């Protein structure tokens, strides 16, 4: 019976991750009317599965045994439910307060809390993950800030010069939209590769499934979530974007997707939401300026949540682990 509960929670979390990530990957394609909603969801469905299958195993391995030893969770199977319940609660809270959720942070933080409570944690691996968490958002910010500052307006100027040549402009617009679709597919593939581990790591930690089998399960569940529940997320995100710039979307999605694939190959779990939002903030600073960007209360709220979220998840996981150890 315990196995069926575990599999239910794993599948439920993977479906939620897939549905939420669908919006982050394809809202620009749908919002800019480059693709229909059905086409957007179908592409996410395909590339989530491919990403999980081809590149997801290293991150699954890291989460299942790189933070706490497998022996720890095998000796007390009930501890593994903490790594599923806390992330699902974090998703719920984030949706209520309308903050882009970093599910990866919640999952990793849950494992860290368990390790601290049981005085059994892989310090080197955790230090490496946290280092990536600190570097990748800054790198995304810098790259997109520089693109926005030195490249973006040159392309815009070129587009304005084409305004009198309707044939050339139509051709350029078509090419740009192709790049938008390609960058969204890269992002979906990288999301499947990196975020699939968030849900299925417990199955590998308990040696119920191999990393390859877990990657297949995650790919199916995330794809299922994107196809059947991602539509509302895409609607919401696309409608919230009042002026979608295809150029900016291509830049953020391409750089974010490349960083996520590199992290996946290295076996490092990082957050899709954090990466993409950092790129958007970088672009905003290059165009609107630092003061105007950070005067936005939503951005300040997001940054506070990113700092407080993992700390709260570690504390909750730590306290629950201690309570479970006493009974």
State both tokens at 144: 């997109």
Q: Could you tell me which residue, 16 or 58, shows the higher pLDDT?
A: 58
pLDDT tens-digit profile of 174-193?
778 888 899 999 999 999 99
Percent of the chain with pLDDT over 70: 87
In the chain, where the domains are located: 2-326
pLDDT of residue 233: 67
> pLDDT grade, residue 1 (50/70/90)?
very low
Q: 3-class DSSP state for residue 56?
A: coil
Q: Residues 202, 203, 209, CA angle at the centre, nearest 5°? A: 155
Mean pLDDT for the chain overall: 83
Whole-angstrom Cα distance, residue 117 to residue 76?
13
pLDDT tens-digit profile of 288-315?
888 888 887 777 777 888 888 889 999 9
pLDDT value at 241 more than 50 = no
State both tokens at 108: 């990793």
pLDDT tens-digit profile of 119-129?
999 999 999 99
């Amino acid at each position: 019976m315990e196995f069926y509960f575990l599999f239910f929670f794993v599948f439920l979390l993977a479906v939620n991750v897939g549905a939420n990530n669908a919006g982050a990957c394809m809202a620009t394609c749908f919002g800019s009317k480059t693709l229909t909603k059905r086409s957007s969801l179908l592409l996410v469905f395909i590339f989530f599965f491919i990403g999980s299958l081809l590149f997801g195993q290293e991150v699954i391995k890291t989460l299942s045994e790189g933070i706490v030893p497998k022996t720890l969770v095998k000796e007390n199977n009930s501890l593994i439910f903490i790594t599923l319940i806390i992330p699902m609660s974090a998703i719920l809270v984030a949706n209520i307060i309308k903050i882009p959720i970093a599910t990866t942070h919640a999952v990793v933080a849950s494992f860290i809390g368990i390790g601290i409570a049981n005085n059994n944690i892989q310090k080197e691996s955790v230090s490496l993950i946290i280092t990536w968490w600190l570097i990748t958002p800054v790198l995304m910010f810098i790259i997109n800030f520089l693109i926005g500052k030195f490249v973006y307006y040159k392309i815009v100027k070129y587009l304005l010069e084409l305004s009198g040549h309707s044939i050339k402009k139509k051709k350029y617009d078509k090419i740009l939209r192709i790049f938008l679709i390609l960058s969204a597919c890269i992002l979906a593939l990288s999301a499947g590769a990196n975020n699939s581990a968030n849900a299925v790591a417990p199955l590998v930690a308990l040696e119920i499934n191999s990393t390859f089998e877990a990657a297949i399960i995650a790919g199916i569940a995330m794809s299922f979530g994107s196809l059947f529940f991602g539509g509302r997320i895409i609607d919401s995100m696309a409608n919230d974007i009042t002026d979608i710039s295809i150029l900016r979307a291509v830049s953020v999605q391409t750089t974010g997707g490349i960083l996520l694939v590199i992290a996946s190959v290295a076996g490092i779990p990082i957050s899709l939401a954090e990466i993409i939002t950092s790129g958007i903030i970088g672009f905003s600073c290059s165009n609107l300026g630092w003061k105007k960007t950070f005067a936005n209360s939503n951005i300040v709220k997001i940054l506070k949540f990113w700092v407080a979220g993992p700390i709260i998840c570690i504390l909750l996981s730590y306290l629950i682990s201690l309570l479970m150890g006493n009974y």
